[in-house]
Structure 1
């Protein structure tokens, strides 16, 4: 491997939230020049690919809530976007329960083959009970949902990598099962997951390739990252870290802060409160008695996954420096949300990403000089 290739592999990666669900990425009545249609999303995926984004994350919703009246299904939508792009990888969100591992394994193996390995998944254990009740799905208690997700992932890996696969779990069973075709051997289906509870972190430290965390300060993120990686080491496992961030990049810090303030000033108060109530109910079911949004203020909840907390809000230089700081505490990927997706993805690619790469290269040179 060349030194240049090694540097590229070590660079922080970028993903963008795919708006396959209506309502944009803030619970606010501010104008959002973002659309959930397929046509818009094709243009966005192509713009993101051209701008240097390696991944896009499609969402999974089964019921209208918090302004998301319309939802395209994640796996089929991801496949449709992959057909219109060349390099970017799409991460399709999947819920164990509605999805069974046999179907998911076959579906994803086919897409992997057809797209030269550009499909990944985000296994979502579920936090919104109302959605499961609405579609008649069982709702196990919190830790059991993560136990089911872990079995789901172990089943997928077994099906994809083993002939005559056998598995006797609490939730899933397989007997002498062989899948054809399996995913490409040199381009496996990457598995992402999220969650902040002890159960979520333990699952990531055992079976997942990537762990998504909600937005937070570098200090709080480092605590989570260190905890997960220490546990993964004990399990002889490696896991990469992605952090959610709502990015507001503008030519001046004043402009960026003004946009943030307008988003909060125009927040949909009822929708934010309803979302907050649902998250508190979900958090109360965890072993710790708190969940992903336990310490989120009203302002934090205006962005679904605490994206404001990561503080990628300011000038391109400020944002680039903060991204490199995140990398230095162990973040491998920034999952990015935007107000006006296409134009802001393009601005990010033109103004912010080159500065990130410059800072990374400079840091690599300094480390090399020290070790020489």
Structure 2
């Protein structure tokens, strides 16, 4: 299997446990511990198990409850980059909280620490208190994307080591250059999440990889077709795709359905906390509109992607998404570490077998 830059076989990643869980806070075998020690152990084990990448989400406040802990994404990512040897570290960033020249400098430093295994995941942000309580205006949805477009334009230029001058609506940058520049490649990878029309347009224009939230196959196919039809900048490589999903895989489908039913029982215990959180979000965020159509366990679409079933069924669904053009599968589980091991032992080998025998996936 080739490295981060050229791999076209399925890539498997795990969401770092920055909030301690991506499902219920009440699972008896999965206490919501968001400590650095737990995240370090999780990602080191994921690397040892053969996972290709990890996504470190960025929340300065825990959206479920601001009294709950939340790991700081960028300092933790620098430490993970130093401790790991092979796994890619992708760190989310909400542009309103970081000036682009500061963020670009941090990203280039982690790129150096990792030896070229770093990526940024640009996200628009949807949790209002995180921004508003800091005294920053939470702009309307499309204005945030306009801000993000200028922000990533500055960042992308700086990541390339270019001497950058930019005068726009939101930023005024004059003759800025960062050293050292990236040494192993032109710049760190840029991932982008979001499914609104401004997000799709921005992905086509600036991203290397577009992350899709977990949802049924036909919906994912329509999203990919829409973005593939959008023009890319001259000379840009084809856009690649990732999918978020929550996995429940067992020996038999009946066992998986039983585990899913239990997950829904636990979800009821979190209902009040989730309801409080939903009063503080941007209701134009497409992710929550999609979740309303496809209720699911897990965040960012979770089980709506359909990775629930026997080991064979889950592997076949992964391979079907891969044939559609999904390259990177960013996964959640509960209890996380035990199910992460189960997936690595029972599902990844099945996917590799199916992938080796399958035709080349749809081109981006």
Same fold (TM over 0.5): yes
* 1:108–1:176 CA distance, 2 compared to 1 (3 A): same
Query: 1:83 deviation in Å?
Result: 2.0
Q: Secondary structure at the match of 2:337?
A: helix
Query: 1:32 deviation in Å?
Result: 4.6
What's the counterpart of residue 93 of structure 2? 94
| Structure 2 counterparts to residues 98-247 of structure 1, below 5 A | 98-186=97-185, 188-233=187-232, 237=236, 238-247=238-247
Residue deviations 1:326-363 (CA, integer Å, cap 9, x gap): 01112111110010222222221111111111101111
Match of 2:43 among 45, 49, 69: 45
Query: 1:291 deviation in Å?
Result: 1.9
Cα distance in 2 for residues equivalent to 1:233 and 1:298: 31
| Contact persistence 2:246–2:333 (CA under 8 A) | yes
| Contact persistence 2:205–2:233 (CA under 8 A) | no
| Structure 2 counterparts to residues 304-319 of structure 1, below 5 A | 304-319=299-314
TM-score between both structures, scaled by the size of structure 2: 0.90
What's the counterpart of residue 36 of structure 1? 34
| Structure 2 counterparts to residues 337-352 of structure 1, below 5 A | 337-352=332-347
Match of 2:275 among 273, 276, 300: 273
| Contact persistence 1:27–1:67 (CA under 8 A) | no
Cα distance in 2 for residues equivalent to 1:293 and 1:185: 38
Cα distance in 1 for residues equivalent to 2:337 and 2:246: 14
Q: Secondary structure at the match of 2:352?
A: helix
Cα distance in 2 for residues equivalent to 1:239 and 1:124: 17
| Contact persistence 2:91–2:121 (CA under 8 A) | yes
What's the counterpart of residue 257 of structure 2? 257
The alignment of Structure 1 onto Structure 2 pairs a total of residues equal to 354
Query: 1:77 deviation in Å?
Result: 0.6
Q: Secondary structure at the match of 2:228?
A: helix
Note if 1:327 corresponds to 2:322. Answer: yes
Which deviates more from structure 2 when the two are superposed, residues 221-230 or residues 109-118? 109-118
* 1:93–1:179 CA distance, 2 compared to 1 (3 A): same
Q: Secondary structure at the match of 2:214?
A: coil
Greater than 6 Å deviation, 4+ residue runs:
none
What's the counterpart of residue 287 of structure 1? none
Q: Secondary structure at the match of 2:89?
A: strand
Note if 1:300 corresponds to 2:295. Answer: yes
Match of 1:25 among 22, 25, 35: 22
Residue deviations 1:24-53 (CA, integer Å, cap 9, x gap): 111452335263222222221122112221
The CA RMSD measured in Å over matched residues stands at: 2.3
Residue deviations 1:234-261 (CA, integer Å, cap 9, x gap): 8764321111100111122122111111
What's the counterpart of residue 83 of structure 1? 82
